[in-house]
Amino acid sequence: MAAEMSSIVSIDEVPATLRAPPGPFAAFWYSFRQNKGAVVGLVIVLIVVGLAVFAPLVAPHSPIEQFRDAVKAPPVWAGGNWRFALGTDGVGRDMLSRLIYGARVSLFIGVAVMTVSFVVGVLLGLLAAYFGSLVDIVITRVMDLIMSVPDLVLAILAVAILGPSLINTIVAVTIVYLPRYVRLVRASAASEMQKDYVVAAKVAGVGPIRLMLSSVLPNCLAPLVIQAALGVSDAILEAAALGFLGLGAQPPTPEWGSMLADSREFIRSDPWIVTLPGLAILITVVAINLMGDGLRDALDPKMRTS
Amino acid sequence: MIGFFLRRIVLTIPTFIALTFLTFVAIRLVPGDPVEARVGEHGITPERLALLRHQLGLDQPVWKQFLDYGWGLLHGNFGTSLSTSGSVLTEFMTLFPATVELSLVAMALAILIGIPTGVIAAVKRGSWTDQILMSLSVTGYSMPIFWWGLLLVMLFAERLGWAPVGGRIDLIRFDYDTPTGFMLIDSLLSDEPGAFLDAVRHLVLPAIVLGTIPLAVVARMTRSSMLEVLNEDYVRTARAKGLSPFRVIGIHALRNALIPVTTVIGLMTGSLLAGAVLTETIFSWPGVGHYLIDGISRRDYPALQGGIMLISVVVIFVNLLVDVTYGAINPRIRHGG
């Protein structure tokens, strides 16, 4: 053993040209890094995630505590003080704390919608691709039906049935976005099924579950990952729109969309109450989209936009 | 060719049936009894409740109700609104032109600004101009449009007073017939001085808000498809022949680059209507999106059901039209589909 070890050359002594090609992750990171926007997006996303996770430590106040002595206090740049750096809302709740806790709600919705529609979408898409015929037709038709109703209208209908709440927002938005995943998985799995390696695997006696999950699925993953990343930002926007219409998370949950709905009466007098929640949504969604574009460029050179 | 059209039309029939089923089931799942919601009286006698149920056909078995509902739809009966007692179809058709007008102007803005933006970004690829335009495009694409609408109202309506806060026309100053339902056309026909300008002033902010996301999408699409086309041999040939850059880019390249862009534009109808729901809510625009939201807040489920049904029919129809048009333009789609 010892002799063998000593014959192995340290990696530093090998000329760079002889080194093994970078692993998949290193290659991905190298090409992701080329896109400056994507890196900026990633940094912002990490900051927002950090704020959401450590909200109780970072936020100066409770998001639902009403400071009756400081109702509609202006932010520091408009003559306010540092006790409420971004001012307070119509009932004296600290805007900064509500925005920080709001990141939790929005990210939770985004990630939950993405996870559920990813898993269900993969299952339905693979089922459709594997069985074909009737199963395929039923799944495809149902997805077409969902897509024929404008997304927000369908989400509104779902919330009207289920009743407005945080969980039902997630359910409604998941229903709306599910077809995208199903169609993507079905299309790429169906084209993979034609390939020789799948035939070879079948001949070798690989069972259907193993065939679909460990042979076909990994080859469909790249577009799916991109869709998932961009799906998070779409879900956040959609959920905020529901919140804005009063159909999302209910008060006093500090959800960015419903904060905007509450703020409409202050549009004339106290513009920061209107401006800040929207800005939070915009920054988060832009950051996720920039990151998603970077992912697309790095994972799928064919879909490269520039 | 005709076979292709027919096949596409036949394919939408199961979707329609399923849609009917979906709205029917969905509305019955909504909590709250529609009869009690309609009556709204306390201490109503059980006899009167039963009578109302009978009048609405709610005492029939569910399958019979579904068949009646479907039969009604085939005869253009999309239900009766609980709050106004008017026919949902009539109310929808009165409001629909407002939504169409808003959507068309928003789309026109998106196309007229988006395509040149995309072309400029593609031609100046990698430059500062490109980077700024594309940053704006990502921002537009990510825009929570309900907030964007509030910001514009705050700045241009409340602060500067350049535009009205909402509505389609100043109802105090103008009163004229609306034969087409399109305010821009009706105001011109009315011969009332200043009516057209007033209609335009009302339309600008909502159109900008609704057009923002399509604009960003069109600009992005145009840029990437232009970049692809600019690398093609025929573009190099055109350049080598000594054609002016304007001719090469504006005519030879753009014509082909626009094919995927038009597809995207056609398929955006659904999201445009969804955006109209939010835009109309912010600007009190009396369109079908506003109608749906009203239906929810008033618990007027027949109106909601009929409205959703009609909007979906429009989307299915427009998508069919887009499909068929591409079939007519592009033989590869026709034979493949």
Mean pLDDT along residues B50-71? 77
Task: Please report whether residue B26 resides in a domain.
Answer: no
The top-scoring range by mean pLDDT among A20-29, A113-122, B310-319 is: A113-122
d(CA A2, CA B249): 68
Task: Please report whether residue A85 resides in a domain.
Answer: yes
Burial class (CB in 10 A: 0-12, 13-18, 19+), B202: buried
- For chain B, what is the domain count? 1
Return the pLDDT at B37: 59
More confident residue, B325 or A123: A123
Residue holding tokens 């596409």?
Answer: B8
Return the pLDDT at A284: 95
Task: Please report whether residue A4 resides in a domain.
Answer: no
Mean pLDDT along residues A8-24? 64
Return the pLDDT at A109: 93
Residues A95-122: pLDDT tens digits? 888 999 999 999 999 999 999 999 999 9
Q: Please report the sign of the dihedral spanned by the C-alpha atoms of residue B180, residue B184, residue B189, residue B194.
A: positive
Task: Please report whether residue B12 resides in a domain.
Answer: no
Whether residues B274 and A157 touch (CB distance < 8 A) is answered with: no
Burial class (CB in 10 A: 0-12, 13-18, 19+), B55: exposed
CATH code, B244: 1.10.3720.10
Residues B163-189: pLDDT tens digits? 887 788 777 777 777 777 788 888 877
- For chain A, what is the domain count? 1
Using an 8 Å CB-CB cutoff, list chain B residues near A153. 273-274, 277, 292, 308, 311-312
Q: pLDDT band for position A2 (50/70/90)?
A: very low
Task: Please report whether residue A44 resides in a domain.
Answer: no
Percent of chain B at pLDDT > 70 equals 91
Task: Please report whether residue A197 resides in a domain.
Answer: yes
Residues B111-133: pLDDT tens digits? 999 999 999 999 998 889 999 99
Q: What mean pLDDT is reported for chain A?
A: 84
- Provide the residue range defining the domain that includes A190: 55-299
Interface ipTM: 0.82
Q: pLDDT band for position A306 (50/70/90)?
A: very low
- Provide the residue range defining the domain that includes B208: 89-335
Q: What does chain B come to in residues?
A: 337
- How close, in Å, is residue A148 to chain B by CA atoms? 6
Residue B178, CB half-sphere, CA atoms under 13 Å: how many?
Answer: 16
More confident residue, B32 or A105: A105
Task: Say if A38 is an interface residue toward chain B (CB within 8 Å).
Answer: no
d(CA B184, CA B284): 17
Residues B255-292: pLDDT tens digits? 888 878 887 887 787 778 878 889 998 898 888 888 88
User: Which chain A residue has its CA at the smallest distance from B18's CA?
Assistant: A145
d(CA B181, CA B220): 33
Task: Answer yes or no: is pLDDT of A11 > 80.
Answer: no
CA dihedral A190, A120, A42, A220 (to 10 degrees): -10
Residues B183-224: pLDDT tens digits? 888 887 777 777 888 888 889 999 999 999 999 999 999 998
Task: Please report whether residue A27 resides in a domain.
Answer: no
Whether residues B315 and A144 touch (CB distance < 8 A) is answered with: no
Mean pLDDT along residues A204-215? 82
Using an 8 Å CB-CB cutoff, list chain A residues near B293. 156, 245
Burial class (CB in 10 A: 0-12, 13-18, 19+), A235: buried
Task: Answer yes or no: is pLDDT of A7 > 70.
Answer: no
Q: pLDDT band for position A75 (50/70/90)?
A: confident
Q: What mean pLDDT is reported for chain B?
A: 82
Residue B281, CB half-sphere, CA atoms under 13 Å: how many?
Answer: 25
Could you tell me the pTM of the whole model?
Answer: 0.84
| Helix, strand, coil content of chain B in percent (nearest 5) | 75, 0, 25
Task: Answer yes or no: is pLDDT of B38 > 80.
Answer: no
Closest CA to B183 of B171, B172, A259: B171
- How close, in Å, is residue A284 to chain B by CA atoms? 9
Burial class (CB in 10 A: 0-12, 13-18, 19+), A76: middle
Task: Please report whether residue B116 resides in a domain.
Answer: yes
Task: Please report whether residue A24 resides in a domain.
Answer: no
Residues A119-177: pLDDT tens digits? 999 999 999 988 888 888 889 888 888 887 888 888 988 888 888 889 999 999 999 99
Task: Answer yes or no: is pLDDT of A3 > 60.
Answer: no
Given a contact cutoff of 8 angstroms between Cβ atoms, the answer to whether A105 and A235 are in contact is: no
Mean pLDDT along residues B154-163? 84
CATH code, A83: 1.10.3720.10
